[in-house]
Every structure is written in C-alpha cells, then in structure tokens.
Amino acid sequence: MTSPVKRIAYQGEPGANSHQVCVQHYPDWEAVPCASFEDVFAAVEGGDGIAPSADLAMIPIDNSIAGRVADIHHFLPASNLHIVAEHFLRIRFHLMGLPGTRIDEVRSVHSHVHALGQCRKLIRTHGFQPVISGDTAGAAREVVEAGDPTMAAISPPLAAQIYGLEVLAEDVEDEEHNTTRFVVLSRDLVEAPTGNGPVVTSFIFNVRNLPAALYKALGGFATNGVNMTKLESYMVGGEFTATQFLAEVDGHPDDPGLKRALEELAFFTTDVKILGVYPADPFRTQP
C-alpha cells in the first residue's frame, strides 16, 4: 500500500515565493495554493464540519525590507494552529516575458506592489510602466494570458518554469539581503526537544493598561538572561486600552532561565499562550 500524499497549503498562485519555499523544504509534499491567508488557515484547521484539506501551512511572517506581513498577527492568536518550524528564503525576482521577447520591446512590467517597490532600479533604468498585480506569480500568468510581447512580469524564478516564460534579466531586486521568514503551522503541537540545538519559542500575551505593566512583565527575561528576538504590539478588538504582544525568545520553556521568565510574565499579564517551540533555522546564525 502507498502512503497518502501529505499536503502543505500556501497563499498565492503556483510559482509564488511561498510555493518556492514549500518545494524547497517539503519536496515530496503536494503544495496547495490558496487565494487568501484566511483560506490557508482554514485548509489546515477545517471548520464548520469541513475536513482539513492540508496537513501543514506555510506562512510568511516577516520580510527584511517590508517588515511584518499584514494580517498574520490577527490569524495566529485566534487559530488553533501551532508553529512547528521556521524557514528563511532569500527573495529573488526575475524579469520574464513571452518566449522570443527582447528586453527593449518591453513597455510595462507587472507584479505585486511590494515586488515593484523592491525592483525600482530596473524599472527606472528601462523606463518601464509599473502595473500592480495581486500576486507576483499571478503577474507571470497574466503575461501569458495577454500574449503581449510588450508586457513583462517581475516574478520568482519558479514562475518562469511553471508558465513557460523566458527570463529576460535575473535577480533584478534592488537589495541582495531581501529575505522573508516563513513559519510552518500544524494542527498538532509538536515541540522541539531540549538539548538538540537552538530552539525558538513564540508566544502571545496581554498586559493590563497600567503604568510600567510591560516593563514589569518583561523584567524576568532580562534578569534570567533570556534573549528576546521579537516583540510586536497589536490592539485587541480595536480598543486602545487593550494591547496584545507577540514575542519570540531564544530557548526552550523547559530551560530553567526561560521557565522562570515565563512564570514571572504570567504574574503580570492577563493571558499567555505558547504558539510554538521549534528548531531555529540555521539562517539565524549566518554572519
């Protein structure tokens, strides 16, 4: 008997960066494209009696240029999914057009608004008219569907293979350090073991709207020597008096220092929820 095919969901069209990272780290899995982040979460969670259509979700959470990915901080706390892994992807964009197209024939270039903003030098140098598309890979599909040699797309390399486009220029992004961090979400809580390499712990918490509440809540991490790598705040329910924080620290909750810090955090907050305890990607230690 053959094992059932495992599926991993991502937001975007085939050929998107999220698809690329799925192929890179889960090559034997079926990558499932979804129209929105909400659909990705639903594909793994299920709901309203609908069986889940994917085992894992690949979600971008931060970009080294654009910052945090909008909406993800709203879905994570409310979902029943857990972070089980992280992956960093060096973002590469190629200029691609119909087969046989020359770069001097191109008049308009299509892509997601962020991709266009990250490839300004190319656009200015050639005098292209930028046209916003909903998705970087979707821009490649639109060029194929239009059949217009004056149109080109700024898309990930995988999109050229999928849609049969010709690469006119490689690595056209302005910054070489353009990198996106992805997290892998699962219905099951799978914690990385202690003593088997660096670990990241992600969690959310709420603080009361009182003077020095955040200072007191975080004091335990400093006194116990715990390195905090992320701290972001969000309003809860649109109210200015209720603030939720997403935090990430180096270490495992069973480590003595982090265990004491989390105990102290709970004393000064209204709620603490561990989102995941997972292996740190080797990218974190690169110079």
Q: Is 203 a catalytic residue?
A: no
Q: Which tokens is 273 given?
A: 């929820």
CA 73 to mean position of chain CA atoms: 11
CA 133/CA 252 separation, integer angstroms: 41
Q: Is 182 a catalytic residue?
A: yes
Contact 168, 95 (CB under 8 A): yes
Q: Which residues, 6 or more positions from 175, have their beta carbon under 8 angstroms from its beta carbon?
A: 64, 65, 118
Query: Which of 184, 200, 199 is closest to 6 using CA atoms?
Result: 184
Catalytic residue among 182, 203, 221, 245: 182
Angle, CA of 246, 250 and 252, to the nearest 5°: 95
Q: Rounded to whole angstroms, what are the CA distances from 76 to 87, 120, 145, 204? A: 17, 32, 36, 9
**φ, ψ at 260 (rounded to 5°):** -65, -40
Q: Which single residue is written with the structure tokens 């305890």?
A: 277
Catalytic residue among 101, 180, 201, 269: 180
Residue 127, number of CB atoms within 10 A of its CB: 8
Q: Which tokens is 163 given?
A: 């849609």
CA 126/CA 134 separation, integer angstroms: 23
Query: Any idea which residues carry the catalytic annotation?
Result: 180, 182
